[in-house]
Amino acid sequence: MAEVLQVKIRDEAGSNAVKRVRRAGNVPAVLYGHREANVRLSVPSDQLHAAIRHGAKMVELQGDISDTALIREVQWDALGHSVLHIDLTRVSATEKVRVTIPVELRGEAPGVRQGGMIEHMVHEVEIECPAASLPERIDVNINALQVGDAIKLGDLRLPDGVVLLGDSDEMVVHCVAVTELPEVEEAAVAEAGEPEVIGRKVEEEEED
Tell me what the pLDDT averaged over the chain comes to: 86
If we measure between CA atoms, which residue out of 148, 93, 158, 96 comes closest to residue 125? 158
62 and 126, same domain (yes or no): no
86 and 138, same domain (yes or no): no
Point out the least confidently predicted range of 15-29, 45-59, 176-190, 194-208.
194-208
* Total tally of structural domains belonging to the chain: 2
pLDDT tens-digit map of 101-128: 999 999 999 999 989 999 999 999 999 9
Entry field: residues in the chain: 208
75 and 12, same domain (yes or no): yes
| Domain-terminating residue out of 60, 91, 122 | 91
| Domain-terminating residue out of 76, 91, 106 | 91
Q: Residue 189 is part of a domain; what is its CATH number?
A: 2.170.120.20
72 and 116, same domain (yes or no): no
77 and 134, same domain (yes or no): no
Strands 3-9, 96-106: pairing kind: unpaired
Say if residue 57's pLDDT is above 90.
no
Q: In sequence order, which residues have a C-beta less than 8 Å from that of residue 67 and are 6 or more positions away?
A: 31, 60, 61, 90
| Domain-terminating residue out of 74, 91, 108 | 91
Give the count of alpha carbons within 13 A of 155, CB side only: 15
Label each residue of 40-109 as H, E or C.
Answer: EEEEEHHHHHHHHHCCCCEEEEEECCCEEEEEEEEEECCCCCCEEEEEEEECCCCCEEEEEEEEEEECCC
The pLDDT score that the predictor gives to residue 2 is 74
What percent of the chain has pLDDT above 70?
Answer: 86
pLDDT tens-digit map of 138-165: 999 999 999 999 999 999 999 888 999 9
Say if residue 7's pLDDT is above 60.
yes
Stretch 54-68: mean pLDDT, rounded? 90
Domain residues for 62?
A: 3-91
158 and 85, same domain (yes or no): no
pLDDT tens-digit map of 178-208: 875 555 554 454 555 555 555 544 445 555 4
Residue 103 CA to residue 206 CA, distance in Å, equals 71
Q: Name the pTM for this structure.
A: 0.67
87 and 118, same domain (yes or no): no
